[in-house]
Chain A
């Protein structure tokens, strides 16, 4: 049941009506039932994975809290203990908590890995008596990377006493499985979602209007732009050797547009759907293609994954005792750049893990390594650049444009490594992009027709205009800006958007609509 299907909208309307008719206090129960129902409609087997991870993390968090309470009680009852004795006992309690945390994290990662990195059906076929599932070629657990990361973040926050463990399992399960975010995020924190999920919401016009606008905008990006370009992108990236240089070049540029409209379109849908139920989810994009540097880009693209890695991997690793020693070693042997060694060590691990997060594939690992190297080189050469640039003003318009072009070029290379089927294909595609042979085979363009291209690119122009406006005035959201516009142009725009989705959207009988790109992660 895709978010862009009619059956999903029928499902959502039912949930919406029942949710708002239900007594305020128990509304979250409707959300939980709807979330579990969504899984059942999609593929009931996924429930098994979600429940297992939820139970493991829920119990581990409760046990962590129990040990902490025991520790506090112990020190209350033994206040007369000497400082050194206290320190030793504290360390024992800490060690217990560390073991428990490691156990919970490892078990969840084993489940995640079993789904992502092993041919599940290879094993299932070997035990047909126990698992009489209908065999499919691929069985990816929907959104497993996203909900596992939310769950692990929750566990880490309980361990660091940033939050207290949730005692009600059903409430915890809703935090993990809340259906608008389940397919591909955003990756949420318990701290930020607890209040919106369980608060007694009132039906507010603003939430409905903003939510509906966001849904429409998401559908427009996904169905009109991303899905129209997806055919070409998949064809070129699937066999770069079969196409000419120009087609490969255009394929890469189209993928840049398609990927953004697909992923951010989904996030618009998720945020809009949640808002119509009174729940505000965190933003996951901040106009990424307007970034001037690669690290700025990663602060704007898939924001919740970036901040997750920063808080739960980068900081703990870069601030560990080993890293501090590494820093001292670096300062002694490499001068000023040496003090960045802990950060560099953290970055290498984070980027390799980010690659692996996408799947067990050399392309993903190379992709992670590529971005890691680019960012690390940026750190190492910064003192040199500062010397070369001297007093040069780096904010001139032409220099900023050059920075944008450089960033887009790096993103294109990253996309080639990420999306091709093998590293060999990636190299072929990269090499072909520089050689526009005259014998280009334009049959590819007939794949969806020239007119559709024009329409899709024209529509992306609109997305670009909206993004430019938001980049210039980031203080308010698109919906807030739209609400200030006079009622006639506002409704004209909304009706046109709706008409575009209906008339130009990639759907209908006989048309294979494309899954959301990040769904497979």
Chain B
């Protein structure tokens, strides 16, 4: 979780990622952030994130991101 928060903080230091649960629904992350996030997560956890995983439920919070990373074998 800490690693994910750190990656997110580098993108948007102003957001409290421990609390925020609507990153996509409230447009806090845009498509550029998502693409950068996918690259960072792929490198950090040595996983492959397919495009079919690009759904709001997977990117709305740090928790959801962690669940996706674990599901993909990270």
Of B16-24, B34-42, B56-64, B65-73, which stretch is located at the interface?
B34-42
Report the minimal beta-carbon distance from B42 to chain A, rounded to whole angstroms. 6
- Give chain A interface residues in 150-173, CB to chain B under 8 Å: 160-162
Q: Contact at B31–A327, with CB atoms within 8 Å?
A: no
Show 19 A/B contacts (Cβ-Cβ < 8 Å), sorted by A.
A161-B52, A295-B30, A310-B31, A315-B31, A315-B51, A319-B35, A319-B51, A323-B39, A324-B39, A336-B10, A339-B39, A339-B40, A340-B36, A342-B35, A342-B36, A342-B39, A343-B31, A347-B32, A379-B32
The number of residues on chain B lying at the interface, defined by a beta carbon within 8 Å of a beta carbon of chain A, is 16
Residues of chain B touching chain A, judged by Cβ–Cβ distance below 8 Å, are 10, 30-32, 34-36, 38-40, 42-43, 49, 51-52, 54
User: Chain A residues with Cβ under 8 A from B36's Cβ?
Assistant: 327, 339-340, 342-343
Q: Contact at B52–A162, with CB atoms within 8 Å?
A: yes
Report the minimal beta-carbon distance from B37 to chain A, rounded to whole angstroms. 10
User: Chain B residues with Cβ under 8 A from A346's Cβ?
Assistant: 35
Given contacts A324-B42, A328-B43, contact A315 B35 (CB under 8 A): yes
Report the minimal beta-carbon distance from B71 to chain A, rounded to whole angstroms. 17
User: Chain A residues with Cβ under 8 A from B34's Cβ?
Assistant: 315
SS of A interface (majority): helix
Given contacts A315-B51, A328-B43, contact A340 B32 (CB under 8 A): yes
Residues of chain A touching chain B, judged by Cβ–Cβ distance below 8 Å, are 160-162, 295, 310, 314-316, 318-319, 323-324, 327-328, 336, 339-340, 342-343, 346-347, 379
Q: Contact at A319–B10, with CB atoms within 8 Å?
A: no
User: Chain A residues with Cβ under 8 A from B54's Cβ?
Assistant: 315
From B30, B31, B38, residue with most partner A Cβ within 10 Å: B31
For the A-B complex with A339-B39, A340-B32, A343-B31 known, give 4 more contacts whose Cβ atoms are closer than 8 Å.
Answer: A315-B34, A318-B38, A319-B38, A379-B32
Q: B51's closest neighbor in chain A, by CB?
A: A315
Q: Contact at B43–A343, with CB atoms within 8 Å?
A: no
User: Chain A residues with Cβ under 8 A from B30's Cβ?
Assistant: 295
From A316, A328, A343, residue with most partner B Cβ within 10 Å: A343
How far, in angstroms, from A228 to B19 measured CA to CA in the complex? 52
Q: B30's closest neighbor in chain A, by CB?
A: A295
Q: Contact at A343–B32, with CB atoms within 8 Å?
A: yes
Q: Contact at A319–B40, with CB atoms within 8 Å?
A: no
